Amino acid sequence: MTSVPTARPRRLRLTPGLRALSRETRLSPEQFIFPMFVHEGQGDTEISTMPGVLRHSIASAVDKAREAQSLGIRSVILFGIPDEKDEVGTQAYAEEGVVQRATRAIKAALPEMVVIADTCLCEYTSHGHCGHLHEVSGHWTVDNDPTLDLLAQTAVSQARAGADIIAPSAMMDGQVAAIRAALDAAGFAHIPVMSYAVKYASAYYGPFREAAGSAPSKGDRASYQMDPTGGYREALREARLDAEQGADYLMVKPALAYLDVMRTVRDAFDLPMVAYNVSGEYSLVKAAANLGYMDERRTVLETLTGMVRAGADAIITYHALDAARWLKEA
- The tens-digit pLDDT sequence of the chain (330 residues) is 678 888 989 989 999 999 989 999 999 999 999 999 999 989 999 999 999 999 999 999 999 999 999 999 999 999 999 999 988 999 999 999 999 999 999 999 999 999 999 999 999 998 888 888 877 777 788 899 999 999 999 999 999 999 999 999 999 999 999 999 999 999 999 999 999 999 999 999 999 888 877 777 676 788 889 999 989 999 999 999 999 999 999 999 999 999 999 999 999 999 999 999 999 999 999 999 999 999 999 999 999 999 999 999 999 999 999 999 999 997
d(CA 282, CA 278) in angstroms, rounded, equals 6
Question: Which amino acid would we find at residue 29?
Answer: P
d(CA 257, CA 171) in angstroms, rounded, equals 19
The string of DSSP letters for 101-113 reads HHHHHHHHH-TTS
Report yes or no: 280 and 258 within 8 Å, Cβ to Cβ.
no
Report yes or no: 171 and 241 within 8 Å, Cβ to Cβ.
no
d(CA 288, CA 236) in angstroms, rounded, equals 34
**What are the E-state strand segments in 106-254?**
114-119, 133-136, 139-142, 165-168, 194-199, 249-253
For residue 77, count CB atoms less than 10 angstroms from its CB and return exposed for 0-12, middle for 13-18, buried for 19 or more. Answer: buried
Q: What is the pLDDT at residue 134?
A: 79
Q: Which of 85, 199, 218, 328 is catalytic?
A: 199
How is residue 233 annotated by DSSP? H
For 5-143, where are the alpha helices, taking DSSP H only? 16-21, 58-70, 98-109
**218 is a catalytic site residue:** no
Report yes or no: 207 and 49 within 8 Å, Cβ to Cβ.
yes
d(CA 171, CA 186) in angstroms, rounded, equals 23
d(CA 144, CA 16) in angstroms, rounded, equals 53
Instruction: List Cβ neighbours of 220 (8 Å cut-off, separation of 6 or more).
Output: 201
Q: Which of 107, 253, 286, 328 is catalytic?
A: 253
Q: What is the pLDDT at residue 1?
A: 62
Taking phi over 0 as left and psi of -120 to 50 as alpha, with beta for the rest, 281 belongs to alpha
d(CA 5, CA 175) in angstroms, rounded, equals 57
d(CA 119, CA 148) in angstroms, rounded, equals 11
141 forms beta bridges with 134
Which pTM value belongs to this model?
Answer: 0.94
**253 is a catalytic site residue:** yes
**What are the E-state strand segments in the chain?**
32-39, 45-46, 54-56, 75-81, 114-119, 133-136, 139-142, 165-168, 194-199, 249-253, 273-277, 314-317
d(CA 64, CA 241) in angstroms, rounded, equals 36
Radius of gyration of the chain (CA): 20
